[in-house]
Chain A
């Protein structure tokens, strides 16, 4: 079993886990969260995690909120350990894909599929434009 961690500035990680439970039910069980609060330094969390990961055979899959943010900067350094995968740019699509498909760990190809699922979920639609209707399918 892989250990999945959502790590963010503030309460986003806890809120994301709450939302995951709503749509994925038990598939979200066992996911950990880390919230960086004012006055804390994410390097302290990095040190704690580093110790846990070093002592473990499991893969640790870590999702960070924003690329290059202090949480990502600190936890990215964990990739010096072989059993670590670090994502940035957390979205609900990414978190769901990981909760539903990565409980036994991710290889490079599976991680690519997670990124594709996350990117496909990012869209925009403008009000007032005609609906671009695809052709209906039938049996």
Chain B
């Protein structure tokens, strides 16, 4: 069962992982990202952030979609983290995920801030609007103690 799909440009990090893990009662974390599986140093850094008593699986987005659709993940209470809105949209569309949590994306010259921690390009904004139109419940919430804001109210 997928407990949450989250966009966070820092992927899995420290106590944010711990606070979501305890708030959602998850037992498995999937980092779905195309760069990390081939990057030993980044992979070991992410493993440092792994909460105790939790399984951590790191896969490319494509392999993640295959695993999610095969049913092998059904027995887990799963927390999925991706780096970008584009990766999140692929998972929503190809795995039928209907809830998306926006945790944080980096500010660049091409982005505008839609919350304290979320910065989106025009293209990403379009993607978010499409996801909402497709029936995905998209909410901005950095940590469990913050209140969640519907993305359509922030765009």
Contacts and interface: CB of A to CB of B under 8 A. Distances in A.
Interface of A: 23-27, 92-93, 96, 100, 123, 131-134, 136-139
Contacts of A139: 28, 57, 67, 72-73, 76
A23 B55 contact: no
A23 B16 CA distance: 6
Interface residues of B, number: 26
B145 A25 contact: yes
A96 B72 CA distance: 34
Interface stretch (B38-46, B90-98, B126-134): B38-46
Given A25-B142, A136-B43, 15 more contacts: A23-B143, A24-B15, A24-B145, A27-B19, A27-B143, A27-B145, A92-B15, A96-B18, A100-B18, A100-B19, A100-B22, A123-B48, A132-B44, A136-B57, A139-B57
B39 to A, nearest CB: 10
Contact of B44 (A23, A131, A137): A131
Contacts of B53: none
A132 B43 CA distance: 11
Contacts of A27: 19, 143-145
B14 A23 contact: yes
Nearest to B56: A137
Contact of A137 (B14, B55, B146): B55
B5 interface: no
B44 A24 contact: no
A132 B16 CA distance: 24
